[in-house]
Structure 1
Amino acid sequence: MTTTSTSTASTLEPLNGYSPYIRALLSAVLLTLAMPGITGWWPLLFIALIPLFSALGRLSIQQSLFTGLLCGLLYYTSLLYWIIAVLKRYGGFHPALAAAALFALAFYMTVYFSLFCVLANHMLAQSASRGKSVALLLLIAPTLWIGLDFLRGILFTGIPWMDLGYALYRQPLLIQAADLGGHHLISFAVILVNALLFWLADRIHAFFSSASAGSDYHFAPPVIVFLLLVCLGGYSTVRYQQISSDTAATDTAIISVVQGNIEQHLKWSPHHKEKTVDQYLSLSAHAFQEEDKPALLVWPETALPFYPAREPLMDKIRDFIQAHDVLLLTGSPYFIVTPQEQTPVSYYNSALLLDHSGRVYSRYNKQHLVPFGEYVPLRTYLWFIKPLVEIVGDFTPGDSFKPLVAENIKAGVLICFESIFPDIARQETTEGANLLVNLTNDAWYGESSAPYHSWAMTVFRAVENRRGLVRAANTGISGFVSPTGEILQETALFKALATNAKMPLLSHHTLFTCGGYRFAILCLTLIPTLLYFSARKKRKE
């Protein structure tokens, strides 16, 4: 292999053979091991990208594209492997077709990964020396990554599944800055740490391998990055203590979460619906045997497997509510008849709030529906694909962020995977929610990593908006999260139970709630600027 000097006047040493691809595969493996559900070795998150970074800046366009494809495909297929079982069991897909669907989704998400590699490699290659290239990585890598993450989270309804920062969901002291710039800021910091450690390793290697390396250090960028990380760490420590104090002094409400553990293949069976109701009522009764009686019962998404308006079993539920003088928030399908419109009946995936008499007096309709799960996009052309939800007709999206008011509780409701879209919880907080409630049914994920992923992403909504968060899942994971992001309680998968917690009801707004959600947008808009200045710098050199 022909190489050149590493002095400031030289070009970067190229990588030939299989070296960049081996490094890409190593990064994919480290990222996979860092994510919850399989191993959850979160410290690996801070070194996982170093092998990939070590290849960038020295590749051709084709090499950088293939490096990104290789890393992204391995990572995303290992992250989303559970899709095959879901499509086979509940979608009726042939195993080969289910595997093809997984590959297609992983490939789509990998497009952003590859775009990162191509753009980063192009910008770093404009530097005349390895030292400058590595220092420039500290600015380029996090900005590019977060900007592309944001784009992936909004295009084609968005797939923001398990962005890097989410792997830290069990480390509240490391995620407090999410109330400044959301989970994207935490991912930004993770990438900064990877880039800084790579810079340090590269400079140590250069110092011992080249007599001229001392002139190629470029200390300013790493020093700035180090100070930024120190500031974020200091902020997190102080903010954690402050929010803990605020939480201890605020109003509270005792809430009970009921995890029914109804098997998915039985959930919509007409012959099983009475057993389902009896199961929830029996578990709910246990909640009142504890010393602190709940003011609000929370049942999961579509805990009622029928339309309440025309179901005799609602009498049982009303009798229970009246006997225990409690409010009930439950998931349920719902329909509205509007004969004056072209579509006379609209179906919703809803959260219903029942008052002390058992009457439905408030309702939230799910807004962000699951493609191919709750509706079929381009139904005219994809007529052969049926929704996974076993209800007649597609759901209609809701359009209101207003919280459901239950005495002193103002619940901002997130149904199913709405909890992975930060802006929904943010807008509900802006509308006055003092508590976030996630109703979900993760039964079709089985004993996979997906329920842990979903739980991890949900935890961040509490920190970003400084709201207590309650989660009721049919088969788990259910739980309670404090405004600091601490997991107060969480249930095991596939266990039927009811559990109570005293939840704080904070009302002030965070920087993220007011405008910090634009941090990722800023990163995206900076990408053309970075491309322009890197090209301009190359021309000057």
Structure 2
Amino acid sequence: MFSKQVVRDTTELFGRKTALQRLGVGYKLPVAFFFGCLFGLSSAGFELWWLAWIGLAPLLVLLRGVNSKLEAASVGLAFGVGYHGVSLSWYLGLGTLSWLGFHEILGTQISMFIWILESFHQALLIAGFATLVYCLPLRAGFLPNIERPFFPYLLSTPLIWVFLQWMIAPSEIFVGLPINQLAYSQYKQLPLIQLASIGGSGSIDFIIVLVNATIANLFLEVSHSARRLGARTDNFSTRFGGLFDFTVTIIALIGICSWGNTRIAAINERIDAATAMALDSHSPPVSVAVVQGNVTIEEERLNISKPTDIAKRYSTLCANLGSSMLCLPEGAINAAQMQPGCLLSILKNIVFKQKKEVIVGTIETLQNGLANGAELITPARQSRDLYLKQRLVPLGEFAPQFFNDERIPNRVRSRIPASRESYLSAHSAQLAKSQYGKVGMSVYIELIYPKLIADEVRNGASLLVNVSNLAWFHNASINRQLLAAAVLRSVENERYLVLTANTGISAVIDPTGMINSMSLPGRRGVLLNTIQFLYSKTPFSKMWWL
């Protein structure tokens, strides 16, 4: 055991480089990009979820074979561009942007530019991750040490990842849309994602990166292709210790999934519609109809369909539904639909004649500009119950500072939605008061910010509703990624979540993350299901500091 350690230290002392260290950066970058692309296939929409558990290990191995900080950052950037290039390929769904007045060729080029730019933007965090992992004095195993190298590899690596992806990526300073987080790739693995109710979705990322780190360490011990990690604090041999770490991690993962199954069974017993009223009289089953109008962006922006035609479409879909609550998507009510005889008057007629509640996305014209929001219309009162969006979409609803650069042609800037329509944002959540309980509403991309949703639950929201309009991206994979985010928000807060999207995917999700019903994208129709207003709070939803 000790002789191998001495030999390794001696070779490093005399400067013998490993195979990866001798490999030029010109070879490492394409390899990193390739493995990043494979890692991107783990994202929701591609459904190769198992790749998340092994896909980061190649980057961790490569980082043990780089020779400088710059090389580490470059390898991380190449890996990140590959990952986000695949995962965020839905930006190409913007297509020709003809609805913004661009020529077909120019519009396609702009869509590709946005895709490439955002891939590089998000990849900066992976470049930062790679640099920190390279620079920190790390030793193998879970235990730290008072002597250099100080930090345990298997704890430090996941913590760095979680900090960058769940603290920096969602921040307003970074101006990102972190819709392709690692945790979302596991949205169908219900026993595993129950952990999010305690530590949030970041805890799922932690476990995934931990498994990748143990695999990378084992590979380094077996292959000797790159620098191995420093001596272990527990005095195990590095090879046996690597196998021990992997075994402990797998046992912990099995334990988490076993606990997750127990939690699912307990929640399912509480929300069983047949016995719900007996267990909690404040949580009666409520029938809900999710209306998917499938109004394309071309219909909306190029006036292919008249407002009255769109209103009739929704009126037909909402007719003769035996449900207590209707949910319509983002922007269904705009200035045109507020005119007499259009959708707003149709919905109010349904509310006050049929005694139903309606939650609908609305574009409000305020004194200082437009506001994107959602409204609850209830027969219990005449006053409006309005929610205004808190986090706006870059370029779609607000223009970042760099967009004012004079080097950007005026003919391009003038056609970007944010340059023509200035949206206002709210500073805090406004809960809507239904007859059955308080509703926490969100609009479109707000669903990817766990803090916003948890704040609503902490303030008393018993049901979560998200209204979205993904028509901009046509039938791209963003609809599946938004659905994955909705599943994790539901588990984090132990709430039913109703996702109503104009062109799909719409869904009703129960507190365990089970998708009870789901629409087809690009289709017109109605989802009918049952939800409940729930009141218990998870450890995650109580953590106000998150």
Does the C-alpha gap of structure 1 residues 373 and 117 become closer, same or farther in structure 2, counting only changes over 3 Å? Answer: same
C-alpha deviation, 1:195, in angstroms: 1.6
Distance 2:139 2:54 in 1: 25
Note if 1:306 corresponds to 2:306: no
C-alpha deviation, 1:141, in angstroms: 1.8
Residue type at the aligned position of 2:192:
L
SS at match of 2:528: strand
Equivalent in 200, 205, 212 of residue 182 of structure 1: 200
C-alpha deviation, 1:500, in angstroms: 1.3
Answer whether contact 2:329 2:500 (CA < 8 A) is retained. Answer: yes
Residue type at the aligned position of 1:103:
I
Does the C-alpha gap of structure 1 residues 279 and 320 become closer, same or farther in structure 2, counting only changes over 3 Å? Answer: same
Could you say which residue in structure 2 is the equivalent of 1:7?
8
C-alpha deviation, 1:115, in angstroms: 1.3
Distance 1:66 1:298 in 2: 47
C-alpha deviation, 1:113, in angstroms: 0.8
C-alpha deviation, 1:138, in angstroms: 1.5
Distance 2:137 2:60 in 1: 10
Q: Indicate the larger mover: 60-69 or 13-22.
A: 13-22
Note if 1:144 corresponds to 2:160: yes
Q: Indicate the larger mover: 403-412 or 414-423.
A: 403-412
Could you say which residue in structure 2 is the equivalent of 1:118?
131
Equivalent in 228, 249, 256 of residue 232 of structure 1: 256
Distance 2:152 2:108 in 1: 45
Which runs of 5 or more residues in structure 2 are unaligned?
141-147
Residue type at the aligned position of 1:70:
A
Q: Indicate the larger mover: 92-101 or 466-475.
A: 92-101
Q: Please show how residues 126-525 of structure 1 align to structure 2 within 5 Å.
A: 136-149=152-165, 150-154=167-171, 155-205=173-223, 215-217=237-239, 218=241, 222=246, 225-226=249-250, 228-248=252-272, 249=276, 250=280, 251=283, 252-268=285-301, 272-286=306-320, 288=321, 293-306=322-335, 311-313=340-342, 314-336=344-366, 344-356=367-379, 359=382, 361-378=384-401, 381=405, 384=410, 385-386=413-414, 389=417, 393-515=421-543, 518=546
Residue type at the aligned position of 1:53:
L
Answer whether contact 1:169 1:460 (CA < 8 A) is retained. Answer: yes
CA distances 1:42-73 after superposition (whole Å, capped 9, x unpaired) = 11111111222222223122321221121111
Answer whether contact 1:57 1:122 (CA < 8 A) is retained. Answer: no
Does the C-alpha gap of structure 1 residues 68 and 392 become closer, same or farther in structure 2, counting only changes over 3 Å? Answer: closer
Distance 1:5 1:99 in 2: 53
Could you say which residue in structure 1 is the equivalent of 2:53?
46
Q: Indicate the larger mover: 377-386 or 101-110.
A: 377-386
Answer whether contact 1:364 1:400 (CA < 8 A) is retained. Answer: no
Does the C-alpha gap of structure 1 residues 439 and 56 become closer, same or farther in structure 2, counting only changes over 3 Å? Answer: same
**TM value normalised by structure 2:** 0.82
Residue type at the aligned position of 1:81:
S
CA distances 1:75-112 after superposition (whole Å, capped 9, x unpaired) = 21222223244274144354334333322221111111
C-alpha deviation, 1:422, in angstroms: 0.7
Distance 2:397 2:32 in 1: 36
Answer whether contact 1:57 1:123 (CA < 8 A) is retained. Answer: no
Note if 1:36 corresponds to 2:44: yes
CA distances 1:320-351 after superposition (whole Å, capped 9, x unpaired) = 33342211111111123xxxxxxx44421121
Answer whether contact 2:81 2:120 (CA < 8 A) is retained. Answer: yes
Does the C-alpha gap of structure 1 residues 42 and 335 become closer, same or farther in structure 2, counting only changes over 3 Å? Answer: same
C-alpha deviation, 1:309, in angstroms: 5.6
Residue type at the aligned position of 2:43:
M
Residue type at the aligned position of 1:153:
P
Q: Greater relative contact order (Cα 8 A, min sep 6): structure 1 or 2? A: 1
Could you say which residue in structure 1 is the equivalent of 2:145?
none
The percent identity for this pair of structures is 23
Distance 2:206 2:170 in 1: 15
SS at match of 1:34: coil
Does the C-alpha gap of structure 1 residues 279 and 221 become closer, same or farther in structure 2, counting only changes over 3 Å? Answer: same
Answer whether contact 2:214 2:245 (CA < 8 A) is retained. Answer: no
Distance 2:527 2:419 in 1: 30
Answer whether contact 1:307 1:335 (CA < 8 A) is retained. Answer: no
Residue type at the aligned position of 1:429:
V
Q: Indicate the larger mover: 464-473 or 191-200.
A: 191-200
Does the C-alpha gap of structure 1 residues 284 and 196 become closer, same or farther in structure 2, counting only changes over 3 Å? Answer: same
C-alpha deviation, 1:498, in angstroms: 0.9
Answer whether contact 2:505 2:518 (CA < 8 A) is retained. Answer: yes
Answer whether contact 1:27 1:50 (CA < 8 A) is retained. Answer: no
Distance 1:195 1:136 in 2: 11
Aligned residues: 494
SS at match of 2:504: coil
Residue type at the aligned position of 2:310:
T
Does the C-alpha gap of structure 1 residues 157 and 222 become closer, same or farther in structure 2, counting only changes over 3 Å? Answer: same
Residue type at the aligned position of 1:394:
S
Answer whether contact 1:23 1:51 (CA < 8 A) is retained. Answer: no
Q: Indicate the larger mover: 135-144 or 428-437.
A: 135-144
Could you say which residue in structure 2 is the equivalent of 1:63?
71
CA distances 1:357-377 after superposition (whole Å, capped 9, x unpaired) = 895521101111111101223
Could you say which residue in structure 2 is the equivalent of 1:522?
none
Which runs of 5 or more residues in structure 1 are unaligned?
337-343, 519-541
Distance 1:125 1:408 in 2: 54
Does the C-alpha gap of structure 1 residues 152 and 359 become closer, same or farther in structure 2, counting only changes over 3 Å? Answer: same
Equivalent in 13, 16, 28 of residue 22 of structure 2: 16
Distance 2:174 2:130 in 1: 22
CA distances 1:485-516 after superposition (whole Å, capped 9, x unpaired) = 01111111111101211112211111111118
Distance 2:373 2:32 in 1: 43
Residue type at the aligned position of 2:476:
S
Equivalent in 21, 28, 33 of residue 25 of structure 1: 33
**TM value normalised by structure 1:** 0.83
C-alpha deviation, 1:307, in angstroms: 5.9
Residue type at the aligned position of 2:197:
D
Does the C-alpha gap of structure 1 residues 388 and 100 become closer, same or farther in structure 2, counting only changes over 3 Å? Answer: closer
